[in-house]
Amino acid sequence: MQALVYRGPFDTAVEEVPDPVPGEGHVVVEVAAVGLCGSDVTAFKGHMDTAKVGDVRGHEFAGRVVGAVGPAESWLGRTVAVNPTVTCGECRYCRTGADNLCRELHIIGVHRPGAYAELVSVPAKQLVAWPDDAPLTVAATAEALAQAVHDVRLGLRDGPVETVLVVGAGAIGFFVLQAARNLGIESVAVLEPDDARRAAAAADGAARVFASVEEARELTGSQQVDVVFDCVGTDATRQLSLACTRNGGTVVLVGLHADESPLAFRDVIRREVTLRGSMAETFEDFRTAVSWLAGGRAGLPGLEKPFTLAEGPRVFSEVATVGRPELRTFLAGRG
């Protein structure tokens, strides 16, 4: 089969690799759509420590089951969304519903061969059924929405939330807006410099939209919010997030852009602000995301037809250098 192989910073190539062979309890999924996640673009640039030469990445995907072994054969022929976060199912985290923190966690497309390929082998337990008549590009956004569901649930952990700010309205930030509203938060402001994305956020229910960090700084005074979701992760957005959070509020750190950032920790301490990391999603978050997408309660606007694998090197280079207008860009393994 063909796969898009990482060869180093700004270098990918479509190559022939062996077809996956499913083991007991595994299936082979024919990839219909796989999203170009921001973390994969960061890896493409050479800034992600999990990216190794020879990797086949791609973790936001959906498709049809075309091979299976044992009891997993019941999945043959079905269209599925795939939760790429594989856990042990036995540790204290898995037993208590915090499976995203499992110490044995590995991610399809990061720690094992992923979906920038025609076929990918996955444990059957990672599958969630998807309606045959619903677009598989929508199903391929389930992992991104699941992350947003998890982010918002973390923001709600310390009690009721009335006001939030979402920093960055890319795919994750846009989904955080939708998840926040679906989970009962009434007032959601969004900071996004891109005109089209800002307009899309306003059309989808954002109470206020800001075009720049300077505009959003009006939230650093009396209008500070309960929770800020930083979906970018630069020095500037992390510092702004802290400044916009009320005393006793929470900053949910989502974006991975910078590994280290200077913060005013005396301010964190004196105002009792909680800085909360957010790692992937739980399987419950993923099921919630699939349900919302299939039921029309969430979704990205303007999803485009996937590019072919052969177009992958060009598309990755374009996304990483000049960007693309859509909220999520897809490749298709087959179909």
Residue 11 has pLDDT above 70, yes or no: yes
Residue 45 has pLDDT above 80, yes or no: yes
Q: What fold does the segment set 145-277 form as a domain?
A: Rossmann fold (3.40.50)
Q: Is the pLDDT of residue 319 over 60?
A: yes
Q: How far apart are CA 4 and CA 141, in angstroms?
A: 20
pTM confidence score: 0.94
Q: What share of the chain has pLDDT > 70, as a percent?
A: 100
Asked if residue 169 lies in contact with residue 192, where contact means CB atoms within 8 angstroms, the answer is: yes
Higher pLDDT, 127 or 259: 127
Please provide the CATH number assigned to the domain covering 2-141+303-332.
Answer: 3.90.180.10
pLDDT at 48: 79
The neighbouring-strand residues paired with 60 are 35
H helix or E strand, kind and range, residue 275? strand 274-277
* Overall average pLDDT of the 23-41 stretch: 93
Predicted confidence (pLDDT) at residue 220 exceeds the cutoff of 80: no
DSSP letters, 14-37, are EEE-PPP---TTEEEEEEEEEE--
Q: Are 226 and 163 in contact (CB under 8 A)?
A: yes
| pLDDT tens readout for residues 103-140 | 999 999 999 999 999 999 999 999 999 999 999 999 99
Read off the DSSP letter of residue 253. Answer: E
Strands of 117-238 (E only): list them.
Answer: 119-123, 127-129, 163-167, 187-191, 208-210, 225-230
pLDDT, the chain, mean:
94
Q: What is the mean pLDDT of residues 143-153?
A: 98
pLDDT at 333 over 90: no
Taking residues 4-30, what's their average pLDDT?
A: 94
What's residue 85's pLDDT?
Answer: 95
What does the pLDDT look like over 164-209, one tens digit per residue? Answer: 999 999 999 999 999 999 999 999 999 999 999 999 999 999 999 9
CA dist 283 to 73, 88, 98, 262, Å?
Answer: 22, 12, 9, 33
Residues 229-253 have pLDDT tens digits of 999 999 999 999 999 999 999 999 9
CB-count exposure of residue 206 (10 Å: 0-12, 13-18, 19+): buried
Q: Can you tell me the distance from the alpha carbon of 2 to that of 273, in angstroms, rounded to the nearest whole number?
A: 49
Radius of gyration from C-alpha coordinates of the chain:
20
